[in-house]
């Protein structure tokens, strides 16, 4: 049901079922590092139709390992989109009412420019020659994509986890292009513990000899083991202890008793191994390095003299901040800090902490209270914006 | 100040400054797996003097990566013993009053039989030919060590984390040999989340090509990278988010600004890398597999029809259970489960949850409240046992 529509401009190509915009051709994108990036590509999907006034666009920002396939089948895994519970006809983000855009982040591995893509300068895959990007760079690239598509401003920008970081950055960088913003299960800066977990994942990848100092695409190798370990470590942080206990406890995997060995005796081990091995089928190790780094570097207050409220001063965006009680990766107190800053900036903000034992991943799951709250928030915002029903 | 003393029997040798008892020569130790292990060695240290009645012995059980050097310089790192804040002349565990024993666990890598030691059957290092051991096996080996030294029963057995698991196992397996028991920061069974973290560490080690299917000692290689990653992942779980934030926050490491690269920009990254690289200097990768596995397998209730109280039925041991508020690896609720079971068994039990933001590692650190409580508990217990001052 992805509709490219007639609004897409020149310089478009379809790669693996996604639209790919060629950007930064006339003028390079200046990254936060100072590097000038251009030309570059952003792969994206759209769903629904842009209205005549071009005012019903919702941008969905994906998390660390997500991509543009938010509500359509993934071309590699064949699985449904990663947020089909939220996005689709009649869903909270109703594709019969809104024009939905979801773009692979800069640095990603699903068609946007990143370490797996060909460096136009060398004709070889970028690898570590790709510049390190930030959340602000991702957002700036998305803003150029909107220019390219021809969308002056967004009705709403929404995302969870790293997607939520992008939402906050959008509201800070482009206040006039964001009518409503929904940052979910995120923070205005990455914590020491979260940086630490990311560093473990990166070290696991870089310790894999197949990584070849990041040049594995040239060598025809793939640091699968390292990436799988990185994923396993990260995956634990996406769940709550309660959820792990409820799902697996100390249950054994297809056996009556422990085997006194190092096979996956416990279901939780088998589950984790599966998470690791399926992940490497769809994700790139260098992209994992780049995107975790972008999250580590995220600190919205730092850009504003250490005062988060200044990031939102004068904002007219309507915010709905969402957290989950059992999320220990982005605990509620970090959402509260965002809310306090928004309050200090006299912003229009709703905040809800949702009771859930599903941990950080709750934002991706069937959470009726989240759906209900966001449906209400979007309907109210649509009314304020004067969108037709 | 380690005193071997005259009580040590025949079959002793000093290896790297530690005493090594050769055990299981006449009769092999039957492991929980059914394997008969013998002969085998247990390396240990003692401090202080055994009194004439042989009633003042305290056994200290070490944690996952600890060893017998609890209160004397480590022969490899040159660092002080791992619990010198607790153990020594005039300390809570007063070596002028008590005879302190600390043994390297079965499966360890500091002189006790384990995967790094020579298999008498083959004349080569055991590697994965070493049988998988359990916490109960470790405790049974320690009981043989006490027989060997000539200690009929312990005044006290104490330990934190995996050491606490051994304490609980001691009280369950040898109730008549344990006058007082102090399990700290532990649980009666390993949780799904903790198994998951261990599995990540094991996968990191086994993914390292230098591991050579566990046979790296024969190949002259060493899976240092994998072991370092395992340590890094585990180390995060030993600290609290608060402690990480207080110690490091988002502070940069010897630099003014982020470098837009994958070096250790943040102090927390540099700290973790240091933890990984120093750990591999003193620890063996296969031992890490074996000892984590022993912890995963620990489930004291399972041995007693699923009823933890039955593990302690009829016990006359005096218990002091200690947990820490910010310990998320072994949270207080798991200590409470132990206390409930002890109460159900009508045991003599004190329980204290200590306010600390230092996470699981608090038990190893300067925690005045813990020292005060344990000093009081030990003095009261010594009085009940009629130990001379």
CA distance B86 to B233: 27
* Element of type H or E holding B83: none
Burial per residue of B319-340, b for 16 or more beta-carbon CB atoms within 10 angstroms, e otherwise: bbbbbbebbbbbbbebbeebbe
- Cα angle: B234, vertex B239, B241; to 5 degrees: 115
pLDDT score of A6: 34
Average the pLDDT over each of A198-212, B1-15, B99-113 and give the range with the smallest value: B1-15
Say if B229 is an interface residue toward chain A (CB within 8 Å). yes
Burial per residue of B287-307, b for 16 or more beta-carbon CB atoms within 10 angstroms, e otherwise: bbbbbbbbbbbbbbbbbbeee
Say if A258 is an interface residue toward chain B (CB within 8 Å). yes
For residue A9, pLDDT beyond 60: no
Alpha-carbon separation of residue B174 from A119, A290, B40 (angstroms) = 68, 54, 21
Q: Which fold has domain A12-193+294-385?
A: Rossmann fold (3.40.50)
Tens digits of residue pLDDT in B42-98: 999 999 999 999 999 999 999 999 999 999 999 999 999 999 999 999 999 999 999
pLDDT score of B82: 98
Inter-chain contacts counted by CB atoms under 8 A, chains A and B: 153
- Cα angle: A4, vertex A65, A122; to 5 degrees: 75
Alpha-carbon separation of residue A332 from A28, A97, A140 (angstroms) = 38, 31, 28
Where does the pLDDT of residue A3 fall: very low under 50, low under 70, confident under 90, or very high at 90 and above? very low
Tens digits of residue pLDDT in B138-171: 999 999 999 999 999 999 999 999 999 999 999 9
Which of A161, A173, A287, A326 is flagged as catalytic?
A: A161
Range(s) within chain B of domains with CATH label 3.40.50.1820: 12-190+313-385
* B315 close to B179: Cβ distance less than 8 angstroms: no
Chain B residue with minimum CA distance to A329: B241
For residue B242, pLDDT beyond 60: yes
Q: Give the pLDDT mean for B290-319.
A: 97
Range(s) within chain A of domains with CATH label 3.40.50.1820: 12-193+294-385
For residue A161, pLDDT beyond 70: yes
Tell me how close the Cα of B5 comes to any Cα of chain A, in angstroms: 38
Among the partner residues B207, B233, B239, nearest to A225 by beta-carbon distance = B207
CATH 1.10.760.10 matches B12-190+313-385 = no
pLDDT score of B16: 53
Where does the pLDDT of residue B116 fall: very low under 50, low under 70, confident under 90, or very high at 90 and above? very high
Contacts of A191 in chain B (CB under 8 A): 241, 244-245
Record the tokens describing residue A193, joined without a space. 């513990």
Q: Which class does domain A194-293 fall in?
A: mainly alpha
Cβ pair B245:A200 closer than 8 A: no
Closest by CA to A210, choosing from A196, A199, A197, A224, is A224
Say if B206 is an interface residue toward chain A (CB within 8 Å). yes
| Residue A175 CB coordination number (10 Å) | 17
Where does the pLDDT of residue A169 fall: very low under 50, low under 70, confident under 90, or very high at 90 and above? very high
Closest by CA to A160, choosing from A330, A357, A332, is A330
Main-chain dihedrals φ then ψ at residue A318, nearest 5 degrees: -95, 125
Q: Is the ipTM of this complex over 0.90?
A: yes
Closest by CA to B84, choosing from B92, B356, B76, is B92
- Under 8 Å CB-to-CB from A149, ≥6 apart: which residues? A7, A8, A9, A21, A46, A101
Cβ pair A207:B229 closer than 8 A: yes
pLDDT score of A66: 97
Alpha carbon distance, N-terminus to C-terminus of chain B: 21
Tens digits of residue pLDDT in A229-276: 999 999 999 999 999 999 999 999 999 999 999 999 999 999 999 999
CA distance B132 to B115: 10
Say if B200 is an interface residue toward chain A (CB within 8 Å). yes
Q: Give helix then strand counts, H and E, for chain A.
A: 10, 13
Of chain B, the percentage scoring pLDDT greater than 90 comes to 94
Contacts of B261 in chain A (CB under 8 A): 132
Alpha-carbon separation of residue A117 from A39, A128, B16, B84 (angstroms) = 12, 11, 54, 55
Cross-strand bridge partners of residue B22: B41
Where does the pLDDT of residue B6 fall: very low under 50, low under 70, confident under 90, or very high at 90 and above? very low
* A300 close to A167: Cβ distance less than 8 angstroms: no
* B65 close to B237: Cβ distance less than 8 angstroms: no
What are the CB-based long-range contacts (under 8 Å, 24+) for A75-83? A75/A16, A75/A17, A75/A18, A76/A16, A76/A281, A76/A282, A77/A278, A77/A281, A77/A282, A82/A364, A83/A364
Record the tokens describing residue B110, joined without a space. 């500091």
Q: Give the pLDDT mean for A118-134.
A: 95
Cβ pair A241:B191 closer than 8 A: yes
For residue A207, pLDDT beyond 50: yes
pLDDT score of A15: 52
Active site residue A161: yes
For residue A277, pLDDT beyond 80: yes
**The pTM is what?**
0.95
Among the partner residues A193, A207, A208, nearest to B241 by beta-carbon distance = A193
3-state secondary structure A40-93: EEEEEEEECCCCCCCCCEEEEECCCCCCCCCCCCCCCCCCCCCCCCCEECCCCE
Of chain B, the percentage scoring pLDDT greater than 70 comes to 96
Range(s) within chain A of domains with CATH label 1.10.1740.110: 194-293
Residue recorded with tokens 């006194």: A260
For residue B34, pLDDT beyond 50: yes
Where does the pLDDT of residue A16 fall: very low under 50, low under 70, confident under 90, or very high at 90 and above? low
For residue A14, pLDDT beyond 90: no
Q: Give helix then strand counts, H and E, for chain B.
A: 10, 13
Which of A62, A69, A198, A360 is flagged as catalytic?
A: A360
Q: Give the pLDDT mean for A71-97.
A: 97
Say if A242 is an interface residue toward chain B (CB within 8 Å). no
pLDDT score of A4: 38
DSSP-assigned letter for residue A307 = -
């Amino acid at each position: 049901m992805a509709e490219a529509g007639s609004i897409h401009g020149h310089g478009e190509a379809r790669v693996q079922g996604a639209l790919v915009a060629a950007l930064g051709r006339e003028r390079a994108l200046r990254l936060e590092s100072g590097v000038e990036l251009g030309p570059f590509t952003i792969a994206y999907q759209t769903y629904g139709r842009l209205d005549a006034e071009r005012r019903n666009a919702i941008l969905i920002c994906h998390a660390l390992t997500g991509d543009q396939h938010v509500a359509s089948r993934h071309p590699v895994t064949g699985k449904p989109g990663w947020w089909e519970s939220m996005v689709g006809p009649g869903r909270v983000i109703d594709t019969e009412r809104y024009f939905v855009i979801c773009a692979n982040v800069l640095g990603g591995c699903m068609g946007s420019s990143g370490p797996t893509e060909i460096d136009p300068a060398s004709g070889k895959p970028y690898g570590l020659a790709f510049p390190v990007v930030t959340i602000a760079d991702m957002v700036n690239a998305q803003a150029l994509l909107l220019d390219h598509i021809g969308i002056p401003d967004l009705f709403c920008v929404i995302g969870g986890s790293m997607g939520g970081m992008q939402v906050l950055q959008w509201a800070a960088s482009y206040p006039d292009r964001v009518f409503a913003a929904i940052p979910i299960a995120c923070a205005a800066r990455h914590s020491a513990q979260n940086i630490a977990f990311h560093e473990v994942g990166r070290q696991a990848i870089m310790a894999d000899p197949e990584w070849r100092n990041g040049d594995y695409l040239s060598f025809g190798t793939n640091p699968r083991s390292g990436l799988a370990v990185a994923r396993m470590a990260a995956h634990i942080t996406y769940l709550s202890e309660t959820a792990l206990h409820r799902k697996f406890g100390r249950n054994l995997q297809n056996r009556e008793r422990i085997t006194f060995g190092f096979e996956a005796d416990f279901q939780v081990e088998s589950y984790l191994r599966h998470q690791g091995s399926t992940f490497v089928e769809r994700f790139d190790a260098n992209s994992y390095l780049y995107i975790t780094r972008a999250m580590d570097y995220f600190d919205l207050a730092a850009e504003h003299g250490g005062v988060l409220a200044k990031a939102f001063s004068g904002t007219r965006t309507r915010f709905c901040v969402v957290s989950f009680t059992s999320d220990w990766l982005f605990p509620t107190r970090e959402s509260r800090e965002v809310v306090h800053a928004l309050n200090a900036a006299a912003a229009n903000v709703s905040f809800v902490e949702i009771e859930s034992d599903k941990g950080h991943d709750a934002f991706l799951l069937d959470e009726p209270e989240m759906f209900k709250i966001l449906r209400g928030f979007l309907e109210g915002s649509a009314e304020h914006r004067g969108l037709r029903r």
